[in-house]
Amino acid sequence: MTKDEALKIVREQLTEHRYHHTIGVMDTAIRLAERFGENSEKAMMAAIFHDYAKFRPKDEMKSIILEQKLGEDILLYGSELWHAPVGAYLVRTEVGIEDEEILLAIKSHTSGRPGMTLLEKIIFLADYIEPGRRFPGVDDVRSTAEENLDNAIKQSLVNTIIFLMRRNQLVYPETLHTYNDMVHQQGGKNE
C-alpha cells in the first residue's frame, strides 16, 4: 500500500482536525525512525493508522473488545482508551494490514506497554509530541526526545498521569505499568 492510498483510507475515518494530527504524527514518527534506527516505512504506516478507530461509536468499540477478547478490563477505564486496541483490530480486518509490529504499535499507542518495541515507542512518543500538540510541558518532552526516547516517554507518562489524577479520572493500570517499566529501566528508586 502506498502512502497516498493509506492516507486516503484514513482520511475517511477522521475529522479534519484529527487528520491533521495524523499527518503530524506521521512526519514526527518518520523523523524519530530515522534518528533512532527504525524502518521509516513501518513507522509511517503505523502513524497513519494509529487513530483509525478514534471516531467509532462507543457501543461498537465495546462490542469489538468483548467479542474479539481484546481485554475487557479496559472497559472499566476511560472510553478514550478503547480506540487503540479496537484500531489495531479494525486496521487488520478492514484495511488488511497484517504486519504484527505495526498492529502492536497501534494497539499500545495510548497507554504504552511494558517492554515496548522501538516502533511502539516511536508511535507513542510521536503521538504526544507532534507539532500540533499543546500540552503543558510538551516542549520539554520534545527536547528530551532529541536525545533519549525512554526519558521522553517517561516524561510524557508523568504528565498524562498527573493530568488524569488532577481531573479525578481513573488511570489505566497499563499506563502505570509502562511508567514503572521506564523507571525500572533507568535504575529508578526502590530497586
Report the alpha-carbon distance of residue 114 to residue 176 in Å, rounded. Answer: 9
Residue whose CB is less far from ligand DGI, 182 or 191: 182
Torsion angles phi and psi, residue 70, rounded to 5:
-90, 5
Residue with smaller CB distance to ligand DGI, 54 or 142: 54
CA distance 39 to 134: 28
* Residues within the interface to ligand DGI (CB under 6 A): 21, 51, 54, 77-78, 80-81, 84, 109-111, 127, 160, 164, 169-172, 175
**What whole-number distance in Å separates Cα of residue 79 and Cα of residue 133?**
21
Task: Please check whether residue 85 is in contact with residue 54, taking contact to mean a CB–CB distance below 8 angstroms.
Answer: no
What whole-number distance in Å separates Cα of residue 93 and Cα of residue 98? 9
Instruction: Name the grid cell of 51.
Output: 487513530
Closest distance to ligand DGI from the beta carbon of 54 (Å): 6
- CB atoms closer than 10 angstroms to residue 62: 17
Residue 172, binding choice from Fe ion, ligand DGI, none, Cβ under 5 to 8 Å by partner class: ligand DGI
CB 182 within 8 A of CB 160: no
Cα 105 from Cα 50, distance rounded (Å): 8
Q: In this chain, which of 38, 127, 174, 181 binds Fe ion, going by CB under 5 A?
A: 127
Q: How far apart are CB 7 and ligand DGI at their closest, in Å? A: 16
Taking CB under 5 A as the binding criterion, the range among 3-11, 36-44, 64-72, 120-128 that sits at the site for Fe ion is 120-128
Q: How far is the CB of 81 from Fe ion (least distance, A)?
A: 9
Nearer to ligand DGI, 92 or 177 (CB): 177
> Residues 18-57: x/- map of binding to Fe ion (CB under 5 A)?
---------------------------------x------
Residues near Fe ion (CB under 5 A): 51, 127
